[in-house]
Structure 1
């Protein structure tokens, strides 16, 4: 495998506040990697920096060997790096299908294809039919084909997040960044989303996700990168991260870390 995304000793500062300090890790092509940490650790700041919504104060991010420094979000998306957001942003009074169509038209206009007005007036002909087929395929992929003609605002919160995933997939990314994708989902919806993540990876899309649902993270991730106060404190496969004292301390506090270490030592004595 080769690195598709390289975060190279990046720092992000807001005035005198250091949000991220010397963050460095790679994501290999074909991996599912999770970026985790306690609230305020810098996870969403890192996502915003990788996708052009924030500029790093130092360091660089490289995607497929290309520096992303100074590139706006739409240019980064065109390179094949797409993302979702923590909050849903559907048009509630339009159907689910029309929400995806609106997104596809906007992408086409940004890329210099058929003007949005021509498309909406039905003057795009074959191009419009192709977009409609693409929208239907995307909704089928994320499991919303049966809800296509319902108003987006009537969907459950978790289903609205799936509309955002469909729009991100519409850009045909090589890599997808998912920001708290199962937030607001129940256990059943989370299981369905885990299957979707794996299906996306099977279609050749590399995935980096930020998530607070630790059982889900441990189940789906090939590797986990852990931040605390903007600094990298651990990196490795789920089994290693689960028992890492620095990670336990970051999430649960020094007392819990000490108890965990004592319990591990006691088990070793009696083994």
Structure 2
């Protein structure tokens, strides 16, 4: 009998404290190779803190994160990237006065820093041509080929986030962590981004996603883990999360918009069981 595959990422009973404040308490979940997993929760639930622990920007107070079996404790962010775990950030991180193409080239040069000086001085033209071709391929993958020669700072916010994805892909990750990637995008842009996530997965990259756009999360995720006040309260496939009582309670308590959405859904379908009101509440609470 074949043994189950080893997780590519394991978060093992991680806790984070800032003085007397508990930001994360006993967080534990695995991500299998090839999955798209979303980490969701109300504002302040600890999602970005968890990402910072996984990528070396923050040390946990307890527990350990393992990537491909390697404990990440004590490793610097650039060392974790070299292991194959890369991320994007909530805020755009482009070089605004450089072209979109040059932004991606900078990311590619970071992968091979020893050759950077030779390339800049024109001593390695073959390498530069190869990197430029790779940069244009990355821009094509994220849909920014037509913007290659424009200044990155002149792009719309959603397009700048796509540059961030291209920069992350330039590190050739085995796993990509996306922190609120569709923030600032309209519905059409979000649909395109869902296709991009699936295309990235088809190239063999595992994805862990933090996102507030609930319809997008439900559409793209294989599994969802839910945080509330720093604690894992549920995990499972989207259809299970929609009707999980703990998730209902967490989101219905977030404000009048969520409660009113749930009430309207219940009144429109009085015989309906909880999943429809929950779906409406999840979406309203992140509107």
* Cα offsets for 1:63-104 (capped at 9, x unmatched): 111111111101110000000000001121211101111222
Match of 1:167 in 2: 167
1-structure distance, mates of 2:24, 2:56: 15
2:38 to 22, 31, 34: 34
Match of 1:242 in 2: 242
Number of residue equivalences = 263
The 8 Å contact of residues 107 and 171 in structure 2, kept in 1 or not, is answered as no
2:78 to 74, 78, 90: 74
Structure 1: 5+ residue runs without aligned partners? none
- TM-score after normalising by structure 1: 0.92
2:90 to 83, 86, 89: 86
- TM-score after normalising by structure 2: 0.87
* Cα offsets for 1:104-137 (capped at 9, x unmatched): 222321xxx31x3322222122211111111111
Match of 1:9 in 2: 13
Match of 2:122 in 1: 122
Q: How does 1:180-259 map to 2 (within 5 A)?
A: 180-253=180-253, 256=259
Q: CA deviation at 1:218?
A: 0.2
2-structure distance, mates of 1:78, 1:188: 34
CA RMSD of aligned residues (A): 2.1
Structure 2: 5+ residue runs without aligned partners? 274-287
Structure with bigger RCO (C-alpha 8 Å, 6+ apart): 1
Residues 1:154 and 2:158 aligned together? no
Match of 1:56 in 2: 60
1-structure distance, mates of 2:179, 2:112: 24
2-structure distance, mates of 1:208, 1:47: 9
1-structure distance, mates of 2:57, 2:270: 45
2-structure distance, mates of 1:93, 1:243: 47
